[in-house]
């Protein structure tokens, strides 16, 4: 005699729990490789007394740490250039580490699409751009100029805007180059409007102590830095050797001695092709005369 088996109730809650756990696991595995593609544009408005009144305002686009190479393709660089050009900048400022070594940096600028800015594109060098051979520095400068980019290496560049000048000051990389901070600072005056570019924020403390040609500190108005990637992976970036600065200089805006300074999380990645809690960014900075 045959008996019908008892009907078993399907455990939907257990299935849902297992499915949720699997989805969460997949998300945790995939997301770190996805976040590096989540490029953000941060928009900030500042007011500076030293910006000449006849200029009114400046639209500055700043970006750093592209690291073109095995993790960042030429196609992504082309798309990045389009994104930058769409912001209609008065100035485009580049913060260094364009590739993984100096040969790659030369190639980066050789293939860089034209960047459009009303008053020019200016760039400093990062530690990856200043690897051997030393002769690559001059080669890179030559290629940069051919692509419409002005290198700023231990130099101060006046930028004429209407009837006034502003100044872009930049130093060589702190770790692998030959920075001349005091020489750069001594070439500007107290009332000049100065944008200071350094790849690494490791120089911030010394930069605040440097003196202009009148022997006064606070010689620059806006400081722009990269290098740290914001730690790249939240909480553990320093342990991976990506960020080696004081926590307050790891990312974001800070004000010291009434000087506005930005440490950008950058565009690309280093060491590992992942980011967690530190999405890439470029910056649109609008500076207005007081």
pLDDT digits (tens, 9 = 90+) for 126-171: 999 999 999 999 999 999 999 999 999 999 999 999 999 999 999 9
Domains of the chain by residue range: 13-289
Give one DSSP letter per residue of the chain, joined into a string. ---PPPPPPP-HHHHHHHHHHHHHHHHHHHHHHHGGG--EEEEEEEEETTS-TTT-EEEEEEE----BSSSS-HHHHHHHHHHHHTT-BSEEEE-S--BSSHHHHHHHHHSPPPP-BTT-EEE---TGGGPSPTTHHHHHHHHHHHTTEEE-SSEEEEEEETTEEEEEEE---TTTS---HHHHHTTS-TTS-EEEE-S-GGGHHHHHH---TTS-S---SEEEE-SSGGGSBTTTTTTTTS--S-GGGSSEEEEETTEEEEE---SS-SSSS--BS---EEEEEEEEE-
Mean pLDDT of the chain: 93
Of 11-15, 73-77, 218-222, 258-262, the least confident:
11-15
243-249 mean pLDDT: 81
* 24 confidence band (pLDDT: 50, 70, 90): confident
Indicate whether this model's pTM tops 0.85: yes
Cα distances from 226 to residues 1, 97, 127, 162, 188, in angstroms, run: 81, 9, 11, 30, 23
Domain 13-289, what architecture? 4-Layer Sandwich (3.60)
Token pair 């009837």: residue: 163
Q: How many beta carbons lie within 10 A of that of residue 139, not counting itself?
A: 16
Token pair 């002769």: residue: 135
Answer yes or no: are the C-beta atoms of 283 and 61 closer than 8 Å.
Answer: yes
């Amino acid at each position: 005699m045959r008996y019908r088996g008892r009907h078993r109730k399907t455990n939907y809650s257990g299935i849902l729990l297992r499915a949720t756990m699997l989805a969460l696991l997949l998300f945790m595995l995939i997301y770190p490789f996805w976040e590096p593609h989540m490029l953000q544009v941060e928009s900030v408005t500042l007011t500076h007394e030293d910006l000449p009144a006849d200029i009114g305002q400046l639209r500055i686009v700043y970006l750093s740490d592209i690291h073109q190479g095995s993790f960042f393709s030429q196609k992504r660089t082309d798309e990045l250039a389009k994104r930058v050009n769409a912001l209609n900048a008065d100035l485009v400022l580049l913060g260094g580490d364009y590739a993984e070594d100096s040969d790659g940096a030369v190639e980066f600028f050789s293939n860089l699409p034209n960047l459009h800015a009303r008053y020019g594109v200016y760039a400093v060098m990062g530690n990856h751009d200043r690897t051997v051979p030393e002769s690559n520095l001059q080669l890179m400068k030559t290629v940069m100029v051919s692509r419409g980019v002005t290198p700023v290496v231990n130099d101060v560049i006046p930028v004429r805007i209407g009837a006034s000048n502003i100044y872009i000051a930049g130093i060589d990389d702190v770790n692998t180059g030959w920075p001349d901070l005091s020489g750069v600072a001594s070439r500007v005056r107290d009332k000049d409007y100065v944008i200071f570019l350094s790849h690494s924020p490791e120089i911030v403390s010394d930069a605040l102590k440097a003196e202009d040609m009148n022997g006064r500190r606070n010689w620059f108005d806006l400081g722009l830095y990269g290098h740290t990637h914001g730690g790249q992976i939240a909480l553990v970036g320093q342990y991976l050797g990506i960020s080696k600065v004081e926590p307050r200089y790891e990312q974001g805006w800070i004000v010291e001695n009434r000087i506005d300074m930005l440490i950008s999380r950058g565009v690309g990645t280093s060491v590992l092709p992942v980011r967690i809690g530190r999405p890439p960014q470029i910056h649109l900075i609008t500076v207005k005369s007081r």
